[in-house]
A and B are shown apart, each in its own frame.
Chain A
Amino acid sequence: MDVIVENISKSFNKGKVKALNDVSFAVKKGELFGIIGPDGAGKTTLFRILTTLLLADDGTASVNGSDVIEDYKAIRNKVGYMPGKFSLYQDLTVEENLTFFASIFKTTVEENYKLIEDIYVQLEPFKNRRAGKLSGGMKQKLALCCALIHRPEVLFLDEPTTGVDAVSRKEFWEMLKRLKKEGITILVSTPYMDEANLCERIALIQKGEILSIDTPVGITEQYPDQLYAIKSDNMSMLLKDLRKSVNVKSAYSFGEYHHIAFSENFGDNPLQTNLLEANNHTNFKMMPITATVEDCFIHLMTKPEVDEN
C-alpha cells in the first residue's frame, strides 16, 4: 500500500467544525484513486494532511512508506501536489514557473521532460506568457507540469477539473491515464460524480465521513433496488406525481429522465398509472437501468444514519 490512512480526524474552530471524522482507507502503488464528494466534504483537509501541510487531531497516515509526522521532509520530496486554488507564481512566465519548481526539487526540466512532454507541448507556444495571463485550461496544464517535474512517487490532485468545461475535463483525464502508466500513484478529488468511472477505485465522502469505498462498478452493484428511468412530456409535473405515489421509494431528476425506485410490495400497478393518467402525461416511457455512482451517492446520503437534517 502506497498511501495508508488510519482513523484520521480533524476539526477546526475549537472542535465546532468537524472536517474529517475517523477516516480510513489505503491506496495501492500505481493506483488511480478518486475521492468523490461535494464542497465541504473534507477532501482538501485530507489532502493537506497527506501532503504534510496540516496536522491531524487523531489517527495516523503514511505516504510511500513515510509517516506524515515523523518523516514529513521525506514526503515533501516525493509527492506532487496540485492544490484546488491556482497556486503558481502569476507574474512568472510559464517557463520560469516550471524551471523554478524543478530547481527547488534540485532537478532540471530536461531531466524529467519525458514525463511532462505530452502536456507541455500544448503550453510551449505560450512559454513566455505570464502564468496569470493564461486561460483556465492552460493554467491547469501548467500546474500539473509543475507538480510532476520532480517525478513524484505519489501525485495529489485536489479538484483539478472544477470549473473546467466538459472537453478540457475529458482531456485532463486522458493525461491522468497516461501518467498512471508511468507507475505514479494518483489521488484525485472531484465533485463531479461522472468522473468516478474514470478511477480504478473511489471513496465517496460527505461531511467528513467516507460513505463507501470500492471500484466504481462495485459501488453501483451495491445499489439495493432495481432502478428505472422514466420520462414524459411534462417532467416537473411527472416528478411531483411520482413523489405522491406511495409505491415510489425515491425519485430524482437525472437529465433527460427521472430515476425512480419502488418500495418492496408494489403489487400489479407499481406506478399507479391512474395517477399519471389523471394528469394526462403524454409520451410516457419507462425502462429498467443500472444505477450510476450519483444514484448511489444520493442513496448513501439519505440513509437514516447519515441524514442529519
Chain B
Amino acid sequence: MKTETVIKAVNLTKMFGDFTAVDNICFEVYKGEIFGFLGANGAGKTTAMRMLCGLSKPSSGEASIAGFDVYRETEKIKSNIGYMSQKFSLYEDLTIAENINFFGGIYGLSDKELREQSESLIEKLDLRKNANKLVGELPLGWKQKLAFSVAIIHKPSIVFLDEPTGGVDPITRRQFWDMIYDAAAGGITVFITTHYMDEAEYCNRVSMMVDGKIAALDSPANLKEQCSAATMDDVFYQLARKAKRS
C-alpha cells in the first residue's frame, strides 16, 4: 500500500518524572487505513494517543498528524481529527439533536452544513422518531453508533477511537464495525484501540505496545505468521506476557 502518510511518529517519547511512559516510538499510518493500536493495560497507549491528539506535549521526538506538528500546531490537529471513547462520547442530558448541534458547532460546521449533516445523520441512523430523546435514554449500542457518527461529522482526516465497543452487544458491535469500514472507504483514517481480539483482525495493520515501546507492527496475517500463532489472541498473549510493568 503506497499512499499518503497521515500520522507519522519519529522517536516519540513521554516521560513523567523518571518514568518513561512512551519510549521512542516510530510508526506511520496511511490515509484510509484502519490501524489497530493494541497493548496491555499500562503499556502507554493512552499517553501515546493523547500526544497524537495534541492534548499532551511530548518530552522528545517528533510527530505530525494530518500534516500538523504535535508541538506547534495542536489546535489545527484538534480541528482535523475526530475522537470518541467508551467513557466519554456524548452528553447524556442533551437530546440527540442537541448533541449533534453542539459537537457540529464545536467542530466548526456552518449553520447550513450543520443542518444538512444533522438531517442526513438522523436519517442514516434511523433516529427520526427519537431525535428529541435524551441521549441517556438510548441503549449503549445506539449511543456508540451515534457518537461515532458525531465524531466524523466534520469529515476529519483521522478519527481516534478509544475502546469504542466495550460492553456493546455482539450484533451492535458488528454494525459499529460496518460503520468503521464505510468511514475508511470514504478516506477517513481510523486509529482504534480495543480489548476484543477478533476486532484486531478487522484492522489493516496492528501495532502492539509493550512497556512503552512498539513491540510489533504488521498486518494481522503477518503477525500471526511471525509468532506462529493461530489467532490474534495468541499473538497478543505472546507479546504482552513479556511486559515487565503492569
Q: A residues touching B (Cβ–Cβ < 8 Å)? A: 37-40, 135-138, 162-168, 170, 191-193, 206, 235-236, 252-256, 294, 297-298, 301-302
Contacts and interface: CB of A to CB of B under 8 A. Distances in A.
Contacts of A255: 197-202, 231-232
A166 B197 contact: yes
Nearest to B139: A40
A137 B41 contact: yes
21 contacts: A37-B169, A40-B139, A135-B245, A135-B246, A136-B41, A163-B41, A163-B163, A165-B195, A165-B236, A165-B240, A166-B40, A167-B241, A168-B40, A193-B170, A253-B174, A253-B198, A255-B197, A255-B231, A256-B231, A297-B169, A302-B171
Nearest to B86: A163
A137 B174 contact: no
B237 interface: yes
B170 A298 contact: yes
A305 to B, nearest CB: 16
Contact of B141 (A38, A135, A236, A252): A38
For A37, A168, A256, A298, the residue with the greatest tally of chain B CB atoms inside 10 Å of its CB is A256
A149 B171 CA distance: 39
Interface of B: 39-42, 86, 139-141, 163, 166-172, 174, 177, 181, 195-202, 220, 231-233, 236-237, 240-241, 243, 245-246
A135 B169 contact: no
B220 A38 contact: no
A162 B170 contact: no
A156 B243 CA distance: 30
Q: Which 8 A-B residue pairs are closest in the complex by CB-CB distance?
A: A255-B198, A39-B167, A38-B169, A255-B201, A165-B40, A136-B41, A167-B240, A191-B167
Contacts of B195: 163-166
Contacts of A168: 40-41, 246
A236 B181 contact: yes
B178 to A, nearest CB: 8
A281 B163 CA distance: 31
B140 A38 contact: yes
A256 B246 contact: no
Contact of B40 (A38, A167, A236): A167
A41 to B, nearest CB: 8
B112 to A, nearest CB: 32
Contacts of A294: 170
Contacts of B172: 38
A137 B140 CA distance: 25
B168 A38 contact: yes
Contacts of A167: 40, 236-237, 240-241, 243
For B39, B168, B171, B197, the residue with the greatest tally of chain A CB atoms inside 10 Å of its CB is B171
Contacts of A191: 166-168
Given A255-B197, A302-B171, A163 B166 contact: yes
B19 to A, nearest CB: 12
Contact of A162 (B166, B181, B245): B166
B231 A166 contact: no
A223 B174 CA distance: 20
Contacts of A170: 237
B63 to A, nearest CB: 24
A256 B201 contact: yes
Given A137-B246, A236-B181, A256 B237 contact: no
A165 B39 contact: yes
Nearest to B177: A253
A302 B169 CA distance: 12
A266 B121 CA distance: 38
Contact of A301 (B86, B167, B171, B177): B171
A255 B169 CA distance: 16
Contacts of A253: 174, 177, 198, 202
For A40, A136, A137, A297, the residue with the greatest tally of chain B CB atoms inside 10 Å of its CB is A40
B168 A39 contact: yes
B246 A206 contact: no
Contacts of B198: 253-255
